[in-house]
């Protein structure tokens, strides 16, 4: 009995240590770990609202799909990893989240361009439009012996013949590339382009060339869209928020650990141990269901740690009461847990209700908070009622006659 | 006050499954254990008056000056700009005026950063404004501007969503507590949590602290926490009520229950406040209004569970059953 409990305890401690050790890397890896929200890594959250045009025609779901495709194309052109794009057909909105972009401002500008691409002669007359363009890619051209940043363009078969005509006719002159009425480029035709493969030169950097390439590719939006909501956080500010909130987490944890240790001594140590288990469970569940960690999410996590501690406090206070009534350690531990169960259950179900209401009706960032809170409460119910109970039983099993001082009460003769 | 709470039917409905105690702590034991013991139930009118004193200025303020809603709720544009050098309020104000805008400017970090709030701007107007600030006030890195834009229509949606979640949460809690305890308990509990919410809202209104999108999460968590705390005490009352003897008074039993859970109440509120204070002090600007609301709410949640919810149960029971000895306990 005695040896069996010691063994179980030792195995549990080692197991938890191993799990924690092997959890750190996969959970915190910036590429594959728990994804950070844009408030923690910088980025843009945009809600675009499709607006009914002048002709008053209703916006169809098909329009929304086209608009989404165009936007997706533009987003991909920006090279953002894991962009989030969602269509809300009811409200005719497209929600875009680009986390971790270096220059959120530029991203918004590229997305906002709703204009139609045209090629025009030096007098501004339209020669052909951008729908005949098949592709546009930024590239580095070193064929002339120096580094040129260029945009390589290719045309559809119809576009190829048309562009061949144009470049033959306007050889040595400038062809304007327009977005709506805005001239964005004015390249000079140096050779006729007959094979549908051309290249525009004169960019100062590859990034600049890439921006133009995206603009050429994406063409026009089928409906006009306006920004109704925008949340833009610079990468530096995001990193700053992340550091601050992690700091807050660490400090809160240290104080709570010490607090429990001082208050409850041996059971306090057990509580701290099961808090570690609790944290690992919560983080893995959040990772498993693909939650994005945001500032409110971290706050929800810290709060759920507080609530998890509460469960231990309820149980331990019960155990202390039973001990004061003169019960043996083992009986007190068992009674404490079974008596606290109903209390813990009832009190936490009510909190889950509040969190559920938040989840069902709240906005995206608040949902993150609600999910963390719900996962936190369920996980704390598990750890406080089962895990802590096992460990406490093993400890009491090792030495049922240990000093009650270790349980935070004065020794009664 | 004797045997009317010993109705067998009521006991069957509410009796929790617990292992039978070999003995239980007497009221005197509980009194002796707490050095600071005083009769909370007998002083209940003091708490009611105290709560009114706390509630009334807040309610007046809510009606007269209302809440300071952030652009999340009323729509608008907000820019948090980190300048490369010191700037002055005037320079930024002039830059705003030069493009025909009005709004508020708030300087921070030794006048090197500014929070500018104005109407909801479209992209062109926004560029114009940032350009003007850059030229007239001081240079800054466009890449690190924090920016928020909410059109008024979206703000309204958020507001109605918030009201809905509050209503849904209240109804769910009311039903659950009625089901697990009795309607009197649920009613007192919900009054106590409305008390916590109104005090929190009242303080935010009095001091005109800004209310952002995360604030609603704080309010709903206060809901959850406050009733959670109350239920723990209710649970003890339910347990002790079953063991009441003929000569015991309901008031003494509630007082005993409150004191039996006092250790837990104090310790729990301490741990949660530790966590919240850490977020408040170290978590940065964006979670400040959230954590401040939580700190106030959690503190009053603990207070109201002890001094309002349980005492309302006593008060309502006393008034509805009167002093005449009818043999029917108040239940739903």
Higher pLDDT: B273 or A366? It is B273
Residue A234 has pLDDT above 80, yes or no: yes
B194 touches chain A (CB under 8 A): no
B49 touches chain A (CB under 8 A): no
Handedness of CA B89, B91, B92, B97 (dihedral sign): positive
Chain B positions touching A296 (Cβ under 8 A) are: 214, 217, 287, 290
Q: Rounded to an integer, what is the distance from CA A223 to the centroid of its chain?
A: 29
For residue B170, the model assigns a pLDDT of 87
Residue B254 has pLDDT above 80, yes or no: yes
Nearest alpha-carbon partner for A308 in A246, A361, A378 = A378
For residue B201, the model assigns a pLDDT of 95
Residue B330 has pLDDT above 70, yes or no: no
With CA atoms as reference, the chain A residue closest to B130 would be: A105
Question: CA dist A17 to A14, B43, B304, Å?
Answer: 5, 51, 41
Chain A positions touching B180 (Cβ under 8 A) are: 346
Higher pLDDT: B326 or A115? It is A115
Could you give the ipTM of this predicted complex?
A: 0.80
Contact B283 A245 (CB under 8 A): yes
Residue A195 has pLDDT above 50, yes or no: yes
For residue B322, the model assigns a pLDDT of 58
Element (DSSP H or E) covering residue A316: helix A295-324
Query: Cβ neighbours of residue A223 under 8 Å, at least 6 residues apart?
Result: A50, A51, A53, A59, A63, A64, A67
pLDDT mean across residues, chain B: 85
pLDDT mean across residues, chain A: 83
Are residues B282 and A251 in contact, defined by beta-carbon separation less than 8 angstroms?
Answer: yes
For residue B22, the model assigns a pLDDT of 44
Residue A163 has pLDDT above 90, yes or no: no
For residue A278, the model assigns a pLDDT of 93
Q: Which of A110-124, A188-202, A390-404, B34-48 has the lowest mean pLDDT?
A: A110-124
In which region does residue A79 sit, left (phi positive, over 0), alpha (psi from -120 to 50) or beta (all else)?
left
Pairwise CA distance, residues A235 & A240, whole Å:
9
Query: Cβ neighbours of residue A346 under 8 Å, at least 6 residues apart?
Result: B180, B231, B235
pLDDT tens-digit series, residues B112-134: 888 899 999 888 888 889 999 98
Region A184-191: mean pLDDT is 81
Contact A339 B263 (CB under 8 A): no
For residue B8, the model assigns a pLDDT of 42
Would you place residue B232 in the very low, low, confident or very high pLDDT band (cuts 50, 70, 90)?
A: very high
Would you place residue A113 in the very low, low, confident or very high pLDDT band (cuts 50, 70, 90)?
A: low
For residue A362, the model assigns a pLDDT of 78
For residue A411, the model assigns a pLDDT of 55
Would you place residue A281 in the very low, low, confident or very high pLDDT band (cuts 50, 70, 90)?
A: very high
3-state SS assignment for residue A82: coil
Chain B positions touching A360 (Cβ under 8 A) are: 165, 168
pLDDT tens-digit series, residues A65-83: 777 877 777 777 677 777 8
Contact B143 A363 (CB under 8 A): no
B241 touches chain A (CB under 8 A): no
CA atoms within 13 A on the CB side of A209: 21
Region B267-280: mean pLDDT is 90
For residue A152, the model assigns a pLDDT of 86
Exposed, middle or buried, B3 (CB in 10 Å: 0-12/13-18/19+)? middle
Select the residue from A94, A357, A359, A373 to test the B interface by mutation, using most B Cβ atoms within 10 A.
A357
Contact A303 B18 (CB under 8 A): no
For residue B312, the model assigns a pLDDT of 95
Region A215-221: mean pLDDT is 64
Are residues A363 and A292 in contact, defined by beta-carbon separation less than 8 angstroms?
Answer: no
Pairwise CA distance, residues B34 & B27, whole Å:
11
| CB atoms closer than 10 angstroms to residue A180 | 13
Would you place residue A220 in the very low, low, confident or very high pLDDT band (cuts 50, 70, 90)?
A: low
Question: CA dist B32 to A225, B28, B256, Å?
Answer: 71, 6, 11
Are residues A23 and A280 in contact, defined by beta-carbon separation less than 8 angstroms?
Answer: yes
With CA atoms as reference, the chain A residue closest to B231 would be: A347
pLDDT tens-digit series, residues B5-18: 444 444 444 444 44
For residue B251, the model assigns a pLDDT of 92
Nearest alpha-carbon partner for A348 in B235, B135, B304 = B235
Residue A35 has pLDDT above 80, yes or no: yes
| CB atoms closer than 10 angstroms to residue B331 | 14
Pairwise CA distance, residues B265 & B233, whole Å:
9
pLDDT tens-digit series, residues B141-169: 888 888 889 998 888 888 888 888 888 88
Contact A226 B80 (CB under 8 A): no
Min Cα distance B328 → chain A (Å) is 26
């Amino acid at each position: 009995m005695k040896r069996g409990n010691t063994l179980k305890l030792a195995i549990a401690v080692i197991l938890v240590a191993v799990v924690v050790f092997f959890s750190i890397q996969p959970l915190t890896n910036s590429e594959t770990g728990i994804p950070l929200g844009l408030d923690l890594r910088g980025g843009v959250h945009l809600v675009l609202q499709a607006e009914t045009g002048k002709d008053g025609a209703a916006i169809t779901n098909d329009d929304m799909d086209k608009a989404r495709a165009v936007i997706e194309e533009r987003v991909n052109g920006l090279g953002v990893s894991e962009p989030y794009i969602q269509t809300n057909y009811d409200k005719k909105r497209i929600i875009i989240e680009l986390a971790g972009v270096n220059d959120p401002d530029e991203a918004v500008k590229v997305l906002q361009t709703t204009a139609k691409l045209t090629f025009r002669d030096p007098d501004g007359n339209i020669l052909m439009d951008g729908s005949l363009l098949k592709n546009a890619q930024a590239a580095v051209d070193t064929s002339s012996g120096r580094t040129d940043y260029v945009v390589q363009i290719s045309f559809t078969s119809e576009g190829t013949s048309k562009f061949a005509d144009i470049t033959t006719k306007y050889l040595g002159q400038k062809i304007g590339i327009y977005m709506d009425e805005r001239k964005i480029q004015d390249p000079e035709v140096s050779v006729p382009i007959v094979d549908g493969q051309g290249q525009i030169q004169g960019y100062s950097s590859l990034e600049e060339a890439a921006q133009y390439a995206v603009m050429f590719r994406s063409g026009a939006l089928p409906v006009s869209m306006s920004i109704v909501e925008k949340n833009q956080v610079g990468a530096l500010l995001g990193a700053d928020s992340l550091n601050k909130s992690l700091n807050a987490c660490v400090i809160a944890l240290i104080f709570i650990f010490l607090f429990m240790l001082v208050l409850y001594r041996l059971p306090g140590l057990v509580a701290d141990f099961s808090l570690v288990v609790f944290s690992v469970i919560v983080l893995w569940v959040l990772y498993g269901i693909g939650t994005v960690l945001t500032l409110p999410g971290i706050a929800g996590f810290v709060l759920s740690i507080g609530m998890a501690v509460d469960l231990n406090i309820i149980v331990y206070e019960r155990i202390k009461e039973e001990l004061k009534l003169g019960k043996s350690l083992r009986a007190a531990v068992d009674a404490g847990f079974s008596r606290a169960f109903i209390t813990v259950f009832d009190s936490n179900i009510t909190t889950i209700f509040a969190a559920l209401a938040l989840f069902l009706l709240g906005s995206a960032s608040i949902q993150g908070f609600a999910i963390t809170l719900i996962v936190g409460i369920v996980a704390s119910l598990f750890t406080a009622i089962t895990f802590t109970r096992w460990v406490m039983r093993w400890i009491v099993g090792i030495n049922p006659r240990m000093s009650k001082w270790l349980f935070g009460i004065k020794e009664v003769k | 006050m004797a045997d009317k709470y010993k109705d067998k039917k009521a006991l069957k409905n509410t009796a929790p499954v617990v292992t039978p105690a070999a003995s239980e702590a007497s009221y005197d034991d509980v009194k002796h254990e707490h050095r600071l013991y005083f009769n909370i139930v007998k002083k209940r009118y003091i708490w009611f008056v105290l709560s009114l004193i706390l509630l009334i200025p807040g309610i007046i303020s809510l009606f007269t000056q209302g809440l300071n809603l952030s652009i999340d709720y009323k729509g608008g544009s907000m820019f948090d700009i980190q300048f490369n050098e010191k700037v002055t309020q005037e320079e930024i104000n002039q830059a705003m005026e030069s493009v025909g805008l009005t709004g508020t400017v708030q300087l921070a970090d030794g006048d090197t950063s500014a929070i500018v709030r104005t109407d909801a701007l479209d992209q062109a107007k926004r560029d114009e404004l940032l350009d003007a600030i850059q030229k007239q006030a001081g240079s800054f890195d466009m890449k690190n501007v924090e920016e928020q834009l909410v059109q008024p229509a979206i703000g309204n949606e958020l507001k109605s969503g918030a009201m809905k979640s509050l209503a849904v949460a209240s109804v769910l809690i009311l039903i659950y507590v009625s089901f697990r305890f009795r309607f009197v308990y649920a009613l007192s509990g919900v009054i106590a949590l409305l008390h916590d919410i109104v005090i929190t809202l009242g303080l935010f209104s009095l001091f005109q602290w800004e209310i952002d999108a995360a604030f609603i999460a704080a309010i709903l968590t206060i809901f959850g926490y406050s009733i959670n705390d109350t239920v723990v005490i209710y649970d003890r009352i339910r347990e002790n009520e079953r063991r009441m003897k003929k000569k015991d008074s309901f008031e003494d039993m509630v007082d005993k229950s409150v004191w039996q859970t006092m250790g837990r109440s104090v310790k729990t509120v301490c741990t949660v406040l530790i966590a919240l204070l850490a977020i408040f002090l170290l978590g940065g600007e964006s979670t400040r209004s959230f954590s401040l609301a939580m700190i106030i709410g959690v503190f009053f949640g603990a207070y109201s569970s002890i001094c309002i919810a349980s005492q309302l149960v006593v008060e309502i029971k006393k008034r509805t059953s009167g002093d005449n000895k009818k043999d029917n306990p108040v239940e739903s």
